[in-house]
Structures are given as C-alpha cells and as structure tokens.
Amino acid sequence: MTSWSIQLQQLGFSKEEGKDGSERYVFSPGVSATSLWTQILVNSIDSCWQVTYSRSESQVGFWQTYLIVTNIEVNVHSSSIKLLQEITSEIDKKPGFLRRFL
C-alpha cells in the first residue's frame, strides 16, 4: 500500500476493487443535512488521482421519496499532498442555507 492510500483509509475511506482489477476509495460522510458531500470517490489513474464529490438530497414525489444527485464536482490531482489537503477541507464543509444558492 502506498502512503496516500493509508492516509485515505485513516480519514475513513473504504477500499473497493472493480471487476477489472482497479481500486477506488469511497467515503460516505453522512446524510445531506450534516455533510455537504454525501459521497466522495477517489480513483487512481496512472500517476494522477480523480476525486469525485457528489451531493444527494431527498425529494418527495407523489407516491414515494426519491434520492436525487443535485451536485457533482470532479477534480484531478497529480500531487498526493494536494489531494489529501483538498479532501480534508471538503469533508469539513457543512451545508448551509446560503451555500445552496452560491
């Protein structure tokens, strides 16, 4: 294991392996009321890392409640230090009333 993968696991990420042998790290910090991002994915691509942030919210329909992705951000990093700094700052962000409209 590399040092960045160990640090991701210390932050609470779980390692998943794809059918093609690739590995990705998944973090689900909680519900949309307590965390800005409801899922963070990190994929290793050659010597870079792709980080996908997604936010899901519940919306009520006529017969049932739907979980809809309302925001997706994708960033690519070539430095593991910047990768970990960004992930740490994004995990700490909390949802707010004004953040929804900015």
Reading the block at residue 91, the tokens are 């995990």
Residue 100 in any domain: the answer is no
Q: How confident is the model over 16-44, as pLDDT tens digits?
A: 887 888 888 988 876 666 777 788 889 98
Residue 99 in any domain: the answer is no
Residue 70 in any domain: the answer is yes
Residue 20 in any domain: the answer is yes
Residue 27's domain comprises 3-94
Residue 50 and residue 74 in contact, taking contact as beta carbons nearer than 8 Å: yes
Residue 101 in any domain: the answer is no
pTM of the model: 0.77
Instruction: Provide the number of structural domains found in the chain.
Output: 1
Residue 102 in any domain: the answer is no
Rounded distance between C-alpha atoms, residue 72 and residue 56, angstroms: 9
DSSP annotation string for 27-82: E----TTT-S-SEEEEEEETTEEEEEEEEEEEEE-SSSEEEEEEEEEEEEES-HHH
Residue 34 in any domain: the answer is yes
Q: How confident is the model over 63-79, as pLDDT tens digits?
A: 777 677 778 889 999 98
Reading the block at residue 76, the tokens are 């690519």
Rounded distance between C-alpha atoms, residue 22 and residue 38, angstroms: 23
